[in-house]
Structure 1
Amino acid sequence: MEFVNSSSPRYECLLFDLDDTLYPLSSGLSDACANNIIEFMIEKLGIDEDGVVELNQILYKKYGTSMAGLKAVGYEFDNDVYHSFVHGRLPYENLKPDPVLRNLLLSLPFRKLVFSNGDEVHVMKALKRLDIEDCFEKIISFETLNPKINDSCDADYLPEIPVICKPTEIAFEKAFEIAQLNPDTTLFFDDSVRNIQTGKAVGLHTVLVGKSEKVEGSDYALKSIHNMKEAFPELWSESDNNKESERIAYTTQISIETSVEA
């Protein structure tokens, strides 16, 4: 005899953006990152200082990230050099261990993944500073979505899309494939309205983080990621129900085995 739980959980996976989602905008990392991008454009690409801020805004809005925009309009540079310049000088010391978030994440037995446009070094540095790097099953980063071309490939080969990143649908679809997740049972947390709207369009349940009010495309809004338990008590209820089901199943199995042995 086998115990079967007839009530399936609504969610099976929690998918988290990193920057300004798992840590607050007030950390100052986003402002520092924006300044570093501007410096990179001026110092490394020779873009005129007078129009660089406006150009950066245009590229970001059109292509999702400044890096994707620069590549799309023809600028050539090494990805690792860019990430080292832009992320390598961020004030990571502003990020402190977050025991509240850590406890929230560890108390949920669902699959938990990070989905970031940032490079892997940046993602891991931030997660380690927050002391939550071991709370996630997998990290989907810039390198995950944009693997390096094999040396054996044609040197003249250029991908149709120079950089795959949120908020493009292809980035989400690739993430789903890589992580083998079902968007219908996945709760997606992100601070970007554009990312949330694309997430909703591809079937995710969406949570806008850092805002008190929902926008088009968001199913929920959280002022802080720390408000998860107040906003989604059912996640913890499902967790308790699953544990109870496991307990009943185990007890039933022991009971049956005991009676057989007797």
Structure 2
Amino acid sequence: MSELIILSIPFLGTSLGAAMVFFVRDKIAPKLEKLLLGFAAGVMIAASVWSLLIPAIDMTEAQGGIGWLPALVGFLLGIGFLLILDTVIPHLHLKSPEPEGLHSGQPHLSKTTMMLFAVTLHNIPEGMSVGVAYAGSLIRGAGITAAGALALALGIAIQNFPEGAIISLPLCGEGMSRRKAFVCGVLSGIVEPIGGFITILIAGLISPVLPYLLAFAAGAMMYVVIEELIPECQDGMHSNIGTIGASLGFALMMVLDVALG
């Protein structure tokens, strides 16, 4: 039961954010959007370091291994995994005029569908990170507590709230009904608990590779930050606002992890 609660927390954040489409008539102001995107980037960077990479290193060293090796291998594999998905799956970023991925120009793929694919890609590593952290809390000697996994889930949920709004409001602005835009925002986050649950199963079966899985999730999240969030929050004028948001997000996630973990 506790794993279902923890895995559902980030999804709840996305759903509540998507529900803002019923209360906000206009699009999010550009300055606020940059602040929120930067905030999400800061949370994900801090989570990658404090909640995933450091525990992976500590766990390996406690087992008598070379601390940095699984962290390095897993991190690069996570980057590569998201790179492959980003290259293969057709998707369209909200601010991009051109779709990406294989067969992205196929007429049967609507703009809305490709936008949804883009956000789903974004959410995959977040679900993985919460799942692997929770799995680590179940393994003795992993150096991860249940409170630490909860802190990670809360941090991801906090940054998912504005992301949910950033997803649903532009879709509504594209002419989609508010109800459909909300549903699309919710569906974009459903991959998080699913991905987290699958990761828990894998980590539970193969606990010796947990440090690799922790670093893998960190690499996947960092890919999203570098590929998508930072460029979008630094786009155009007022780029310092995105930087402020990233700093606040990093600080909040760091405090959550240290105070609760």
By the TM > 0.5 criterion, same fold?
A: no
Which structure is higher in strand share? 1
**Greater share of helix residues, 1 or 2?**
2
Asked which structure has the greater CA Rg, the reply is: 1
Return the structure number with greater relative CO, CA threshold 8 A, min gap 6: 2
TM-score (ref. length: structure 2): 0.29
